[in-house]
Every structure is written in C-alpha cells, then in structure tokens.
Amino acid sequence: MSKDYYATLGVSREASTDEIKKAFRRLARENHPDINPDDARAEARFKLAAEAYEVLSDPEKRRLYDRGEVFDFGDLFGGGGLEDLLSSFFGGGGFGGSRGPERGRDVLAGASISLKDAAFGSTIEVEFRGAVKCATCAGTGAAEGSRPVTCVQCRGAGQVRVQRKTMLGAMMTVVACDQCSGLGQIVENPCQTCRGDGRTVEDRNVLLEVPAGVSDGTRLRLSGQGEVAKRGGPGGDLYVELRVEADERFIRNGDDLVHRLQVGIAEATLGTHRWIPTIDDVDVEIDIDAGTQPGTVITLPNKGMQRLGRRGRGRLLVEIGVAVPTELTSEEAEVLRQFAELRDESISSSRRWRKAR
C-alpha cells in the first residue's frame, strides 16, 4: 500500500468518521481550486485529500484499505479530471470555469447511395432540416437597426460567481448568468424573423464525401454542420446514416461481391462462356468448363468492393447454378429420353413434365 490516507488527512488510524470529515473539510478549503486558481500543487493536494476522504469515509472501503487489500483507489472518480471530481463532491456545475459557449444540437440525417457509389466512393448531397443562423439579423437576434447590449449582471461574460452551500461550507462557484442565459448579451428589440433566437429552421443540403467501401448503416460525421446554437453559436455535428441500395446483379459479402449465374444443363455439361456484369460497369467474359457442377464458384480477383480505408479491392465471385428445365416441348422431351436411354438412366414413364407452349 503506497499511499497513507491517514497521513494525508492528518488523522490517526482510529479516527472517527466525524474527525475524518472535519480533516477533509479543512484540507479541501485550503486547497480548493476556486481559491487557488492555476496552482497545480494545491490541485494535487486537493485530489489526494478527496481520494483519502472517499476511501476513509466509506466504512466498507476503509475496512478493505485497513486490511491492505489492493484495489485501484486511484481510479475512484472514473478516471475523470478535476471537474468530475469536483462535481462528484459539489454537484453538477460546481466549477464551471472551463465551460465554453453552448453548442447547437447534433442532427441525424439519412442518405441512400447505390452499391457502385459504395464501392468507389462519391460526393453526394444530403438533405435535412435544421436550425441555421437567422438571415435577417445574421444571428444576433436583434431587430434591424438595433444591436444586442452587453448584459449588465455578468458584464458580457455569460457567467457569474455565486456562493453555494456545499459540504465544505459556503463556496464560490461559477454558474451561467441567469439574466442573459449565459450568452453575455441581451436583445432588447428582437428580430421579427427569429424572435430574438438568432436562428431559423430551414431545409438544408450539404455535400458529403462518401469514402469508397462504406457499408449499409455506416454513419459519417460532419463536424459543426448540425444545428447552430442560439444567437448563431457554434453548430452541433451532422451525422449521416448511409443506406446502400440493393443491386439486383450482386450480393455483397464484406468486400466481396457475389453474382449468381444460371446456365442450362447442356451448357454446364458441354461447357460454354458468358459475359458477366461487374460493379465497374464493364462486362467480362468467363469460361464455363465442360462438366461444371452446380455451386461451382469462379473467382475474379479485384472486381469486388474497394476496401474501406485500405488499398485494394475484394473479389467478384460468380456462383454457377444449373437450371433444370421445368417445361419441355415434346421434341425436347424425346431428345432427353434418348439421352437417358444411352446413359442407361431409368426415367419415369409418366409424362410429368409440363409441355412448353
């Protein structure tokens, strides 16, 4: 056990919970980041005291600690930073010094692309509805000829320091200004179009670069392209979920494409050749050898999908099926019957095949 939490708090091993609490309060007040801004050593002392208090104030954790049981006390606060630690003691927003301007909402939009576009990538237009900066007031929220005025309460900072009652007694903390909702400015004469909000909801479209090799359901993120925040504040992110349309010529299997090809029984038996469609839209000729069995796969390397984020392409697999006729003319049936006799195959005497035409 490397850390001595009792020494950290300056109490004996027999200290009561009350004594531990008192010791922690004193240390926390002395080293609190609000009182010692930008003092790394005070911050470290504060964190260590909080860690010691977290363990020793909990009877179960204290018992384990006293027995020297090893568990990761250092990660008590979920590996979070100082703000997480403070909010775990003083509630949310207890230390808002690093709070940035409010971001707009994220937007999820959908877009469909062809299998070919998924194979090679393309630039597409994505349409969605979302808040944009109001065009009338350019996002200020103020009516024409007027301007927002600086908030008197926070002097434009958007934040105010307030005293809060916490377990350590009264503490100064930073919260969003309630007069201006944290915006720092007040609109006295609101824009007619957006009623002072600084944004309007519009149909929008953005261009999206779809990388080669994407799959159905892939979500792409366009940072900052979502809805703008109040008064034209920074935009949220736009997520685009891609639907890859089915292509009747191919079944996708990862980076590979499968094309199903049906040949006749004579073709499979005697051999033939066929033109096969590819995702490149250039047909290629393949040989089907004499005696090809149903289920045979002919592999065409580098004719599949582009690999996402990597070089190279998957394969095009041509899966051969042999079509057994279900309709025969009497002439075809006669030829086939003679064939069967030559092969010594026993065929049913009943005429169960359907006559063609």
The stretches of the chain forming alpha helices (DSSP H) are 5-9, 17-31, 40-56, 59-66, 82-90, 115-120, 265-270, 330-342
Considering beta carbons, is residue 154 or 210 the nearer one to Zn ion?
154
CB 105, min distance to Zn ion, A: 18
CB 173, min distance to Zn ion, A: 16
HSE-up of residue 62 (Cα within 13 Å, Cβ side):
14
CB 166, min distance to Zn ion, A: 23
CB 124, min distance to Zn ion, A: 31
Non-local CB neighbours of 102 within 8 Å, separated by 6+ positions = 182, 229, 230, 233
Q: How many angstroms separate the CA atoms of 88 and 230, rounded?
A: 29
Q: Is the Cβ–Cβ distance between 210 and 220 less than 8 Å? A: yes
Considering beta carbons, is residue 134 or 222 the nearer one to Zn ion?
134
Residue 185 burial by CB count (10 A; 0-12/13-18/19+): exposed, middle or buried? Answer: middle
Task: Find, among 7, 36, 37, 10, the residue nearest to 25 by Cα.
Answer: 10
Considering beta carbons, is residue 233 or 304 the nearer one to Zn ion?
233
Considering beta carbons, is residue 102 or 247 the nearer one to Zn ion?
102
CB 81, min distance to Zn ion, A: 27
Q: Which two tokens stand for residue 353?
A: 């095949």
Site residues (vs Zn ion, CB under 5 A): 134, 136-137, 151, 153-154, 177, 179-180, 191, 193-194
Considering beta carbons, is residue 52 or 180 the nearer one to Zn ion?
180
